[in-house]
Structures are given as structure tokens and as C-alpha cells.
Amino acid sequence: MEMKKLAGELAFKLERRKRDKPLSNCWLYGFLGRWRERLPTLKPSALDSNRAKNTTPEAVQTYLHNLKNTIDTLHLENRPDLIFNMDETGISPEHRPPNIIAPSNEKPHSVTSPRSATTTLIACANAAGSNIPPYFVFKGEL
């Protein structure tokens, strides 16, 4: 719908249409057919709203600065076997984002609200390539 609306506004501004209204589904399907190679429809991955707000260039720069200071302080420059990374991801059974139109070289995200029961998956590996088995955290009961 957003694509049809933007295209209708552009056509009106370029004086190709007399009305400032969204274009039709026929126009959209024709457009997508002509540009199939460069604009595939993709299903975006979920990105929690809190993570979206806190993933700024400044936050990433601060993290990288702190990481370098820690590696220098602990003399880990040549010890990849002692540098581990742990990451967690939530697996939500309820998220079903719609298909969107995006360039094929991008990985789109769909911001969601954290309201459904999520199973957490934790993985850990070191810079030398060793890892430990994944760890699952399921919803518990009080």
C-alpha cells in the first residue's frame, strides 16, 4: 500500500496524473514484474523495538572503544583462544511480518513488540573457532 501511495504522489508531482491518490494493484504488479531482479519482495526479520532504539552509531562506537581497551589491558591481542563471544537470540512463534519491497543487497528488519512467550537460545564461541553447545532457556512457571 505504501509503495502505491508514494508512486501516486510522485506521478502527481511529475504531472503524470491529475489526482494525488495511490496507484492501482495492476500498476504495482507490473512495476514489480519489470524490476523483479533488483527489487525482490523479502520477509523482514524481527527487530525488538528496544534494540532498534539502542543500536545507534554512537553506541556501537562506544562498545568497540571499550572492547579495544579491555583487549589491551588484559594483553589478549595474540590470544584468540581466550576471547569468547556469547550471543542470545529470542525465538518467537507468533511473529509473522508481511513481505516488503527492498533492494536485494539489504536485510530488512521488522520492529516488533516483546509481548509473546519467547524461547531464548544462547551460543558461545571463541575467536580461535572453538564453541560450547547451545543453551536453550524456555518459559518457566512461578
Residue 116 lies in a domain: yes
- Mean pLDDT within 99-118: 71
Q: Which residue type does 68 have?
A: K
Residues 65 and 128 in one domain: yes
Question: How confident is residue 136, by pLDDT bands cut at 50, 70 and 90?
Answer: very high
Spatial separation of the C-alpha atoms in residues 127 and 79, rounded to whole Å:
8
By the 8 A CB rule, do 8 and 21 touch?
yes
Residue 49 lies in a domain: yes
Residue 81 lies in a domain: yes
Residues 126 and 70 in one domain: yes
Spatial separation of the C-alpha atoms in residues 113 and 116, rounded to whole Å:
8
Residues 49 and 111 in one domain: yes
Spatial separation of the C-alpha atoms in residues 39 and 37, rounded to whole Å:
6
Spatial separation of the C-alpha atoms in residues 102 and 97, rounded to whole Å:
14
Residues 56 and 124 in one domain: yes
Instruction: Give me the domain span that covers residue 8.
Output: 1-36
Angle between helix axes 25-34 and 2-13 (nearest 10 degrees) is 90
Residues 51 and 12 in one domain: no
Residues 87 and 19 in one domain: no
Q: What is the pLDDT of residues 112-131, one digit of tens each?
A: 665 667 889 999 999 899 99
